[in-house]
Structure 1
């Protein structure tokens, strides 16, 4: 699921951290209150400052992190996008290590 976030923070009411929570809740088909606090996974204030204003003409920046079992990617440049993907279940012993 990809969500475009036009004019984020220009009204002083929305923050990218809120958008991330809403996007994960929508993907998981749960209420936002059912999710753990975002700050357990990523520094919310830093995320908001990093993507808090448009970067018109600037190089795009991207950050990725896992939030409650979902891979989240936030990309900002002329526009901000939040992408949420369900993380596949990992088999025991499959934490990026080959076992022979």
Structure 2
């Protein structure tokens, strides 16, 4: 099952943790720390605009809490959980 997330949060890390918690039907605090698999600040900075303001584009995929997380950015970040 794949779920794309529409989240109120602009922070990718929150979208991931909240999305996995929703899929699992659990509290986000019950999940393992995201930093066990990826550096959250680095994840945010990878897709932040450049110093000149140019948007970055890209894709990253990693395992978290038994799911495959895919973050793709073109105009806005899209987080998918499988």
TM-score norm. by structure 1 comes to 0.67
Q: 1:61 to 1:28 in 2, by over 3 A?
A: same
CA RMSD after TM alignment = 2.1
Indicate the structure (1 or 2) with the bigger Cα radius of gyration: 1
TM-score norm. by structure 2 comes to 0.80
- Partners of 1:47 and 1:63 lie apart in 2 by 9
2:44 alignment counterpart: 48
Q: Aligned pairs, how many?
A: 76
Segments of structure 1 that go 5 or more residues without pairing to the other structure are 9-14, 86-100
Greater helix content: 2
1:3 alignment counterpart: 5
How far did residue 51 of structure 1 move?
2.6
Residue 65 of structure 1 aligns to a residue whose secondary structure is strand
